[in-house]
């Protein structure tokens, strides 16, 4: 008992002071009010910090299921009492927007950020007068104290929703308008932000909430979703990638994943062709509409069709904005044979040509459900007892068609894809991780802002395009969608624009 007491005191000293111990397990406390004297003043940024706040009653990985809360100093006194009259940048403790950022990169578990972490927008948010919350969550390789995997899909989004519910439960004792929460995320974190925006109060995650001891009485609906380069629609992302990089057999590689630069094998090339063809069928089945004309958007092979033309138009707009902001960069763009300027506007002759020297293929084929299970998504769709597995059930049928031509490869890989066909647990994981299953059907954030880099080759540019168009068509949200020129996968944005967006949507 003495050892346990010492261990809990050590945890408290590291900031885990919103937890207690019950029957040998750390237990969270859903009420934050008794901790108001635990705020730490950060002189450099003139703000207060409440660190490692556990947001559920039964955390399995406490350091991940916690959040750091940062509040402009004007909104609190030295005793942690909320001050409602003081102002920073036009906001008060009652009106300040709340930035809710997650750090889920590559679907990997994330502990909450410090304010000035290079991955965080915390400093920018606090200086703008916003309350900033960095929310941790479990991810693909999280394990509990018994060594059991506990962060597989859809746990990350369920954790983040629990964090939002926790904030709303404690709204009366925290600065910030909890009805004006804006989620922020990059890559897989962008996918989480997308889901937070379109699955408000969706009961599909209740199983995970009950297990962790989340608040079941509060709403998890948010006001806005900032989605940077979201890796979403994993049901079709493999096919989208092969359409995007049709005919591109050379890949630049991902050494941190386990493969360098190289060329697709003949088997992978054949697989790529069939997958690209399948994507054309899928895209066209969505019956997406041009938001300006109402015309149905279709794509074809070789980046044909008016859907491809609409995507090319977004790329041209991105280049125009880039040159407007940085006129000295125009000469840099003129070096590309596929880009020219006409009457001061960018004209891109061909996406195919653009991919030769600007937007290059990065990944193997398949890009997400890797043949040898080395991609993050293979781990994301694991189970409590299986770390990595395949998840793209449609690949089994395509590989069947290649059996005669590639008997060795199909004998090696096909059984793994056949094994997952009909798996009900996997079907649930995929359904709960795909925003396209929820857009327009659940409570939707009234504002979305989607940004993706023109050089982003981690997924197909059509993934974010479809996401934006589906959101526009649902009629429940205002969508601000742009491709950002010369940006790769990451926080693709221009300085200050995200803060200005938050200000603009709050003023409406």
Cβ atoms of residues 61 and 15 within 8 Å: no
DSSP-based three-state secondary structure for 396: helix
Angstrom distance (rounded) from CA 51 to CA 115: 11
Q: How far apart are the first and last CA of the chain?
A: 57
Cα R_g (the chain), whole angstroms: 24
Angstrom distance (rounded) from CA 24 to CA 352: 60
> Does the global pTM surpass 0.85?
yes
Q: Where are the alpha helices (DSSP H) in 235-295?
A: 237-244, 266-285
Q: How many CA atoms lie within 13 A of 169 on its CB side?
A: 18
DSSP-based three-state secondary structure for 381: coil
Helix pair 188-198, 155-169: axis angle to 10 deg:
60
Cβ atoms of residues 390 and 374 within 8 Å: no
Angstrom distance (rounded) from CA 494 to CA 240: 27
H or E stretch including 425?
Answer: helix 424-432
Angstrom distance (rounded) from CA 152 to CA 404: 36
Angstrom distance (rounded) from CA 202 to CA 185: 20
Angstrom distance (rounded) from CA 291 to CA 285: 17
- Please report, in tens digits, the pLDDT of each residue of the chain (508 residues total): 333 333 333 333 333 444 444 444 556 789 998 788 899 999 999 999 999 999 999 999 999 999 999 999 999 998 999 999 999 999 999 999 999 999 999 999 999 999 999 999 999 999 999 999 999 999 999 999 999 999 999 999 999 999 999 999 999 999 999 999 999 999 999 999 999 999 999 999 999 999 999 999 999 999 999 999 999 999 999 999 999 999 999 999 999 999 999 999 999 999 999 999 999 999 999 999 999 999 999 999 999 999 999 999 999 999 999 999 999 999 999 999 999 999 999 999 999 999 999 999 999 999 999 999 999 999 999 999 999 999 999 999 999 999 999 999 999 999 999 999 999 999 999 999 999 999 999 999 999 999 999 999 999 999 999 999 999 999 999 999 999 999 999 999 999 999 999 999 987 5
Regarding beta strands 478-484 and 447-453, do their DSSP bridges make them parallel or antiparallel, or are they unpaired? parallel
Tokens of 248: 């591109």
Cα 40 versus chain centre, distance: 30
Tokens of 432: 């709960």
Cβ atoms of residues 459 and 215 within 8 Å: no
Q: What dihedral angle (degrees, nearest 10) is formed by the CA atoms of 143, 428, 473, 183? A: -20
Name which of 228, 287, 313 is nearest 491 in CA terms. Answer: 228
Regarding beta strands 345-348 and 262-263, do their DSSP bridges make them parallel or antiparallel, or are they unpaired? unpaired
Cβ neighbours for 329, distance < 8 A, ≥ 6 positions apart: 322, 323
């Amino acid at each position: 008992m003495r050892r346990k007491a010492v261990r809990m005191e050590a945890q408290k000293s590291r900031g885990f002071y919103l937890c207690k111990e019950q029957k040998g397990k750390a237990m969270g406390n859903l009420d934050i009010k008794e901790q108001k004297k635990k705020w730490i003043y950060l002189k450099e940024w003139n703000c207060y910090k409440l660190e490692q706040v556990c947001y559920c009653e039964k955390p399995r990985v406490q350091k991940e299921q916690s959040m750091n809360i940062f509040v402009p100093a004007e909104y609190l006194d030295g005793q942690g009492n909320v001050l409602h009259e003081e102002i920073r940048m036009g906001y008060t403790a009652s009106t300040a927007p709340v930035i809710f950022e997650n750090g889920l990169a590559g679907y990997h578990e994330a502990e909450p950020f410090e304010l000035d972490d290079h991955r965080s927008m915390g400093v920018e948010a606090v200086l703008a007068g916003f309350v900033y919350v960095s929310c941790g969550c479990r991810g693909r390789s999280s394990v509990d104290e018994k060594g059991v995997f506990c962060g597989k899909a859809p746990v990350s989004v369920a954790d983040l929703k629990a964090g939002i519910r926790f904030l709303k439960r404690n709204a009366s004792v925290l600065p910030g308008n909890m009805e004006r929460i804006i989620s922020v995320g990059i890559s897989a974190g962008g996918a989480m932000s997308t889901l937070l925006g379109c699955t408000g109060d969706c009961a599909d995650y209740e199983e995970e909430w009950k297990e962790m001891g989340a608040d079941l009485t509060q709403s998890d609906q948010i006001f806005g979703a900032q989605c940077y380069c979201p890796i979403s629609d994993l049901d079709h992302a493999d096919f989208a990638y092969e359409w995007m990089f049709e005919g591109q057999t050379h890949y630049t590689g991902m050494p941190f994943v386990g493969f360098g630069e190289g060329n697709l094998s003949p088997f992978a090339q054949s697989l790529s062709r069939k997958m690209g063809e399948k994507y054309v069928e899928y895209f066209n089945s969505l019956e997406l509409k041009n938001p300006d004309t109402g015309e149905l958007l279709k794509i074809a092979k070789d980046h044909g069709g008016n859907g491809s033309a609409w995507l090319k138009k977004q790329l041209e707009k991105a280049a125009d904005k880039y040159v407007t902001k940085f006129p000295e960069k125009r000469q840099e763009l003129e070096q590309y044979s596929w880009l020219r300027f006409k009457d001061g506007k960018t004209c891109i002759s061909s996406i195919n040509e653009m991919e030769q020297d600007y937007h290059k293929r990065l990944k193997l084929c398949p890009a997400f459900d890797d043949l040898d299970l080395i991609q993050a998504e293979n781990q994301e769709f694991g189970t409590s007892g299986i770390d990595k597995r395949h998840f793209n059930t449609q690949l089994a049928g395509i590989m069947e068609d290649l059996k005669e031509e590639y008997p060795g490869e199909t004998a090696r890989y096909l059984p793994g894809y056949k094994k997952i066909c009909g798996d009900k647990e996997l079907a649930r994981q995929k359904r709960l991780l795909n925003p396209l299953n929820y857009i327009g059907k659940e409570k939707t954030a009234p504002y979305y802002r989607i940004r993706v880099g023109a050089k982003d080759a981690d997924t197909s540019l059509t993934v974010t395009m479809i996401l934006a168009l589906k959101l526009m068509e649902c009629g429940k949200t205002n969508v601000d969608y742009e491709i950002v020129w010369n940006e790769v996968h990451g926080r693709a944005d221009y300085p200050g624009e995200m803060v200005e967006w938050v200000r603009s949507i709050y003023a409406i």
